[in-house]
Amino acid sequence: SAATKFPRSPAFSRITSEDIYHFKEILGEKNVIQDEDRLSTANSDWMKKYRGSSQLLLAPGSTEEVSQILHYCDSRYLAVVPQGGNTGLVGGSVPVYDEVIVNMNRMDKIVSFDQISGILVCEAGCILENVGAFLANEGFIMPLDLGAKGSCQIGGNVSTNAGGLRFLRYGSLHGNILGLEVVLANGSVLDMLGTLRKDNTGYDLKHLFIGSEGTLGIVTKVSVLTPPQLASTNLALLACRDYFSCQKLLFEARRALGEIISAFEFMDCHSMEMVLKYLEGVRNPFSSSMYDFYVLIETTGSDEASDKSKLEAFLGRSMENGIIDDGVIAQDMSQTMSFWRMREGITEALVKAGAVYKYDLSIPVDKLYDIVEEMRSRLGHSAKVLGYGHLGDSNLHLNISTATYDEDIFAKIEPFVYEWTAKNKGSISAEHGLGLMKADKIYYSKTPEAVNLMASIKRLLDPKGILNPYKVLPPSLILPN
């Protein structure tokens, strides 16, 4: 298993009853959790693929409490795993051994919102969907959206640099996060909670924490630039006969839909079959016809009539010149939700189907589907190979579904998938991060010099290595054996 790859570092202490007493002093009795059921949930990831054996979960309610926890853990050599909504897909959010879980659930307050600029400041434990609901009331939206929105937290989104469904329109969190408050390993609070769009005073330190998966500090507050909610949104579900047509469709849609395009997602027929089979209430939108590829195009703009007619005209032309074979624009909210459910529900369907090997790859768009086909021919009938993802961002989600985890199948997948990706100048993690799953795979996408500099930064900010050990970087660079 993943856990046996890296031995528990002997540098870390084990929890004593004195530690428990001290944490109760800081947090109060009820926020120091040793209950077996709660620990069992928190020890295991969303896919039930990674499992730790932590005996202690701490639930701080303020930055000051996070600071006191880390100050104490650092002085005692107690390892810590920061945990948000625990929806991460690379084993980063659960302990590997007995790390103390610092769960951010209680830090769920909105701090401030500026109606003119759209700048929101909130605590890291706010659930993405709740922030979205707050903003909807104010006439704004979050610049990111993803299938896990009902559970994931903004602090977890920042820490993974989550991409998701709106990336095409609003870009990366490196652009949308204007400031952060972070507690460092030794407990000191780093206030970088700016609310400015522009600020070129020295090194922009917040970027170190965006995407560092809890290895450099615990994010406690976030400042986000939120876009206004526009009057008209349309969603079209289209069918293509081959991957080349999907590419052509993307090329054309970028031009024809220009400023109103807000999402461009694709899924192959194997992904569609998976959601039709495993998700309740999902029905084939094209009655009984199945196509090889499906594309979702969303537009968001300010003029209902012209946005709609633009999209309709684009679909008409795409049909005439054979880029698409079929297509439908959602007619109401419930159809819109059912189209999104097909795409967003693939991850859930895969978990229901059995074991799953997940690869989140950035690959130049012209080659993006080649790896899916190659993998399919390598594995034959032993597995279902699915390709879907954020085509507009060149981000493929390659998923391999089997009845149970199987070493022989695994040996056909890895290292092939990583070698192929490196050879084709891709990234082995487009948006999910490295976590535990890929901590020792970083060299497929980064040079040794870059990895060494990362390790130096890690050692500078967290000299004892207590923050999320065994994750992101090869443990041998950080921890004594």
**95 interacts with, out of ligand 2HG, ligand FAD, none, CB within 5 to 8 A per kind:** none
Supply the minimum distance, in Å, between the C-beta of residue 347 and ligand 2HG: 3
- Residue 397 binds which entry of ligand FAD, ligand 2HG, none, CB below 5-8 Å type-dependent: ligand 2HG
| Nearest-10 crossing angle of helices 63-76, 17-27 | 160
Residue numbers 70-99 binding ligand 2HG by CB under 6 A: 89
Q: How far apart are CA 145 and CA 111, in angstroms?
A: 21
Distance of CA 217 to the CA centre of its chain: 18
Shorter beta-carbon distance to ligand FAD: residue 52 or 156: 156
Starting from the edge strand earliest in sequence, which strands make up the sheet with 177-183, in order? Answer: 110-114, 119-123, 218-225, 177-183, 189-192
Sign of the C-alpha dihedral computed for residues 404, 409, 415 and 421 taken in this order: negative
Nearest to 294 by CA among 307, 278, 282, 281: 282
Four-residue CA torsion sign, 423, 212, 57, 18: positive
CB within 8 A of 414, min separation 6: which ones? none
Peptide bond into 415 cis (omega under 30): yes
- Taking each helix axis as running N to C, give the angle between helix 243-256 and helix 304-320, from 0 to 180 degrees, rounded to the nearest 10: 140
Residue nearest to ligand 2HG (CB): 347
Nearest distance from C-beta of residue 415 to ligand FAD, angstroms? 23
- For 103, residues 6+ apart whose C-beta sits below 8 A from its C-beta are 42, 57, 58, 59, 83, 84
Does 270 contact ligand 2HG by CB under 6 A? Answer: no
Please identify, using beta-carbon distances, which residue of 152 and 324 lies nearer to ligand FAD: 152
Q: What is d(CA 395, CA 427) in angstroms, rounded to the nearest whole number?
A: 9
Using the minimum distance from each CB to ligand FAD, give the nearer residue, 221 or 270: 221
Our CB check for ligand 2HG shows the closer of 54 and 157 to be 157
The residue count for binding ligand 2HG (CB under 6 A) is 9
Q: How far is the CB of 428 from ligand 2HG (least distance, A)?
A: 13
Task: Please report whether residue 438 would count as binding ligand 2HG according to CB under 6 A.
Answer: no
The nearest distance, CB 160 to ligand 2HG, in angstroms, is 10
Binding site partner of 63, from ligand FAD, ligand 2HG, none, Cβ cut-off 5-8 A by kind: none
Q: Using CA atoms, how far apart are residues 28 and 299, in angstroms rounded to an integer?
A: 49
Cα–Cα dist 123/119, whole Å: 14
Smallest distance from ligand 2HG to CB 155, Å: 18
Contact of 290 with 326, CB cutoff 8 Å = no
Pick what 93 binds: ligand 2HG, ligand FAD, none; C-beta below 5 to 8 Å, kind-dependent.
Answer: ligand FAD
Applying CB under 6 A, does 397 fall inside the site for ligand 2HG?
A: yes
Q: Of ligand FAD, ligand 2HG, none, which one sits near residue 358, judging by CB under 5 to 8 A according to partner kind?
A: ligand 2HG
DSSP assignment of 157-169, as one string?
A: HHHHT---TTHHH
Judged by beta carbon distances under 5 to 8 A according to partner kind, the member of ligand FAD, ligand 2HG, none in contact with residue 104 is ligand FAD
Q: What is the closest distance, in whole angstroms, from the C-beta atom of residue 165 to ligand 2HG in the complex?
A: 7
**What does 91 bind: ligand 2HG, ligand FAD, none (CB cut-off 5 to 8 Å by kind)?**
none
User: Nearest CA to 67 among 176, 160, 190?
Assistant: 190
Residue 156 or 301: the one with the smaller Cβ distance to ligand FAD is 156
- Phi-psi sector, 325: left (phi>0), alpha (psi -120 to 50), beta: alpha
Per CB under 6 A, 147 contacts ligand 2HG: yes
- Residue 386 · residue 275 · CB < 8 Å: no
Smallest distance from ligand FAD to CB 315, Å? 25
d(CA 232, CA 196): 28
Cα gap 419→410, rounded to integer Å: 14
Instruction: Quote the least distance from Cβ 118 to ligand 2HG, whole Å.
Output: 25
Give the residues lining the site for ligand FAD (CB under 6 A): 46, 81-89, 92-93, 104, 124, 146-148, 152-153, 155-157, 159-160, 162-164, 213-214, 218-219, 347-348, 431-432, 435, 468
User: In the complex with ligand FAD, which residue's Cβ is closer, 153 or 247?
Assistant: 153
**Residue 256 CB coordination number (10 Å):** 16
By beta-carbon proximity to ligand FAD, the closer residue of 66 and 253 is 66
* Contacts with ligand 2HG, 377-396, as mask; x by CB under 6 A: ------------x-------
399 binds, among ligand 2HG, ligand FAD, none (CB under 5 to 8 A by kind): ligand 2HG
- Cα-trace Rg, the chain: 23
Q: How far is the CB of 375 from ligand FAD (least distance, A)?
A: 21
Among 399, 401, 421, 445, binds ligand 2HG (CB under 6 A): 399
Q: Compare residues 167 and 291 and give the one whose CB is closer to ligand FAD.
A: 167
Residue 265 or 462 with smaller CB distance to ligand 2HG: 265
| Interface contacts to ligand 2HG, rule CB under 6 A | 89, 147, 346-347, 358, 360, 389, 397, 399
